[in-house]
Amino acid sequence: MAPLTILPPVNSAHRIQLEPIATPSRLLLGPGPSNAHPTVLAALARTPIGHLDPLYIELMSEVQELLRYAWQTDNRLTLPMSGTGSAAMEATIANMVEPGDRVLVAVMGYFGLRQADMSSRYGAEVITIERPWGEAFSLEELEEALITHKPAVLAMVHAETSTGVCQPMEGIGELCRRHDCLLLLDTVTSLGGVPLFLDAWQVDLAYSCSQKGLSCPPGLGPFTMGPRAEDKLNRRQGKVPNWYLDVSLLNQYWGSDRVYHHTAPVNMNFGMREALRLLAEEGLDQAWARHRGSAERLWSGLERLGLELHVPEPLRLATLTTVRIPEGVDGKAFSRHLLDTHGIEVGGGLGALSGKVWRIGLMGYNSTPQNVDLLLNLLETELPRFRDTVPAAVAAA
């Protein structure tokens, strides 16, 4: 993209002239977004139609049914929030949490901390339990916390994007029902790429995003709410404090009435419909197996190169791998080299893992053996040049 020219103060007599946008081609192998499927990009470029057009209303129903398939749920209230995954995260909390509600957040990375922060902003009494970044929770410690704290909601991350851990979910929903607690689950980095069975796992609320396993650009946040969560919403003492994300209002637009709520991002839903259609066409079992195969190819290749993976194999995400930056390597410099020289993006660490790991994403359209081999080849041939280097600021000190 051409550098931005600093323009003089705006004057109606002046004309502003900039070159048309021209972004370079990138292969996005970081924590998200992933590259969008060409079919999805073509759908985004279609001529918009009205958000109350009968054709669009029909498409809305298709998107909802396809989301139910992707999540393996029959939840009536399943829809794409007009906003990124963080908006969908906030929607789950805004609709469920009333001032004084006790919310237990099982933190095993950066996005558990975000759940806790959002819950506190809606007046919850937030209690956190924590595991080291790279580990997951056991049923025993979760049950102990539920017995001790008696929360109204347990919030968890299924696929922790900051660490590359996939939290085992079997039995957790049953625990929550036994202890009269709703289960809220972050599936941002698992939807479309990792086995998900919301109804079988007895998950009450979940959210995700459009730009990772679904291979659609950022802009929509899939959201789903089960019957127990609907009951709590209907029993609220006051209005949901976030008008835009109020599911009791959105239900009138995405439900059978189709009553106007806000101007929906029509073209984003065109893209979402095609992304979900492609996932359904491939089949969930096949998509999950493809992601797993690509991940295992990456893991074995990284280990062959002598690189250390941060997460034990039984807990590793197939969509995102954390690999420890070797001693003496400037991780940021190498990532920037891959981007500037080869047009490949890999991510750095967040929070407790900042500067310690690279985060390699193989999500949706990008999860292919060819992309794995390309990255492994570059690591093998070019990483040695970055060993025994330190950032200039450190050297100067």
Say which residues have a Cβ less than 8 Å from residue 283's Cβ, sequence separation at least 6.
none
Does 258 or 170 have the greater pLDDT score? 170
d(CA 391, CA 30): 22
302 with 228, same domain: the answer is: no
Residues of the domain holding 116 = 38-281
CB contact burial 233-267 (16+ within 10 A = b; e otherwise) = beeeeeebbeebbbbebbbebbeeebeebeebbbb
**77-117 residue pLDDT tens:** 999 999 999 999 999 999 999 999 999 999 999 999 999 99
Is residue 99 in a domain?
Answer: yes
**Binning pLDDT at 50, 70 and 90, where does residue 13 land?**
confident
Could you tell me the CATH number of the domain that includes residue 387? 3.90.1150.10
Is residue 7 in a domain?
Answer: no
Closest CA to 111 of 155, 49, 141: 155
**271-289 residue pLDDT tens:** 999 999 999 999 999 999 9
Q: What is the pLDDT of residue 366?
A: 98
**297-317 residue pLDDT tens:** 999 999 999 999 999 999 999
Number of domains in the chain: 2
Question: What is the pTM assigned to this prediction?
Answer: 0.93
Q: What is the pLDDT of residue 120?
A: 98
**181-200 residue pLDDT tens:** 999 999 999 999 999 999 99
Is residue 376 in a domain?
Answer: yes
Q: What is the pLDDT of residue 11?
A: 72
246 with 311, same domain: the answer is: no
Is residue 17 in a domain?
Answer: no
224 with 290, same domain: the answer is: no
**64-85 residue pLDDT tens:** 999 999 999 999 999 999 999 9
**201-223 residue pLDDT tens:** 999 999 999 999 999 999 999 99
Residue where one domain finishes, among candidates 261, 281, 301: 281
Is residue 6 in a domain?
Answer: no
174 with 145, same domain: the answer is: yes
Is residue 18 in a domain?
Answer: no
Tokens 């007895």, residue located: 202
52 with 169, same domain: the answer is: yes
Is residue 8 in a domain?
Answer: no
Is residue 59 in a domain?
Answer: yes
Q: What is the pLDDT of residue 202?
A: 98
96 with 183, same domain: the answer is: yes
Residue where one domain finishes, among candidates 281, 305, 324: 281
**Binning pLDDT at 50, 70 and 90, where does residue 7 land?**
low
309 with 224, same domain: the answer is: no
**Binning pLDDT at 50, 70 and 90, where does residue 394 land?**
very low
Distances (CA, A) of 357 to 47, 111, 309, 317, 320: 43, 17, 9, 15, 12
159 with 94, same domain: the answer is: yes
Say if CB 252 and CB 77 are below 8 A apart: no
Q: What is the pLDDT of residue 158?
A: 98
Whether the CA torsion 196, 199, 201, 202 is positive or negative: it is: positive
Residue type, 168: P
188 with 217, same domain: the answer is: yes
**Binning pLDDT at 50, 70 and 90, where does residue 43 land?**
very high
267 with 119, same domain: the answer is: yes
Q: What is the pLDDT of residue 396?
A: 43
Whether the CA torsion 109, 132, 356, 308 is positive or negative: it is: negative
**125-153 residue pLDDT tens:** 999 999 999 999 999 999 999 999 999 99
Residue where one domain finishes, among candidates 251, 281, 311: 281
101 with 235, same domain: the answer is: yes
Could you tell me the CATH number of the domain that includes residue 138? 3.40.640.10
207 with 82, same domain: the answer is: yes
CB contact burial 376-393 (16+ within 10 A = b; e otherwise) = bebbeeebeebeeeeeee
Tokens 């970044």, residue located: 133
Q: What is the pLDDT of residue 258?
A: 85
Q: What is the pLDDT of residue 17?
A: 85
